[in-house]
């Protein structure tokens, strides 16, 4: 499970991507084959369910791009469904405070960083990929390191705490 977007950022590169709001898995594949590094399935403003988002995530991975999901809110359910479907990370809109940002980490990271639940899902490679079969501690460490949780700071309250949130 290598997050290619995270790797590019860490290498000082600038990944290229876009938001995705069309209802076609073929379009998701084309974005990957066209050379985009990532796209964001927008379940906040777009017409997508968790089920349709999962199809777009699979299509993007098949085409070699890194799929992210902008979830509808910071709830445990919204974050876990996107990550369990195989998203490389989530963008959480309208984050209001440091406390909410901490909750996002609790929902999106495994022990010891958070409380994300574990299941045999596309996000775990159904326990069949090497990184997912190498022991639970190693699996959680790799997943925690590669999963990106991105808060969208859209309120004055969030801006007041932005330094702490970014840390």
Residue among 144, 150, 146 at smallest CA distance from 165: 150
Residue among 115, 113, 111, 72 at smallest CA distance from 94: 72
Residue 63: how many CA atoms within 13 Å on its side-chain side? Answer: 24
Residue among 84, 93, 69, 86 at smallest CA distance from 20: 69
Report which DSSP code applies to 128: T
CA distances from 128 to 1, 150, 153 (A): 12, 28, 37
Residue among 10, 60, 63, 26 at smallest CA distance from 40: 60
Contact 20, 63 (CB under 8 A): no
Q: How far apart (Å, rounded) are the C-alpha atoms in residues 61 and 59?
A: 6
45 is catalytic: yes
Q: Which residues are catalytic?
A: 45
């Amino acid at each position: 499970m290598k997050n290619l977007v995270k790797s590019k950022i860490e290498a000082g590169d600038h990944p290229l991507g876009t938001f995705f709001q069309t209802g076609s898995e073929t379009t998701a594949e084309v974005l990957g084959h066209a050379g985009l590094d990532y796209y964001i399935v927008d379940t906040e403003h777009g017409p997508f369910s968790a089920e349709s988002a999962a199809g777009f995530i699979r299509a993007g991975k098949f085409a070699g791009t890194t799929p992210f999901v902008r979830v509808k809110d910071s709830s445990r359910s919204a974050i876990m469904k996107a990550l369990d479907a195989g998203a490389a990370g989530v963008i959480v809109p309208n984050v209001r405070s440091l406390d909410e940002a901490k909750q996002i980490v609790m929902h999106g990271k495994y022990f010891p960083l958070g409380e994300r639940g574990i299941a045999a899902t596309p996000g775990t490679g159904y326990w069949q990929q090497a990184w997912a079969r190498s022991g639970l501690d190693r699996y959680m460490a790799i997943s925690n390191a590669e999963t990106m949780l991105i808060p969208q700071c859209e309120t004055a309250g969030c801006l007041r705490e932005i330094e702490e949130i970014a840390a």
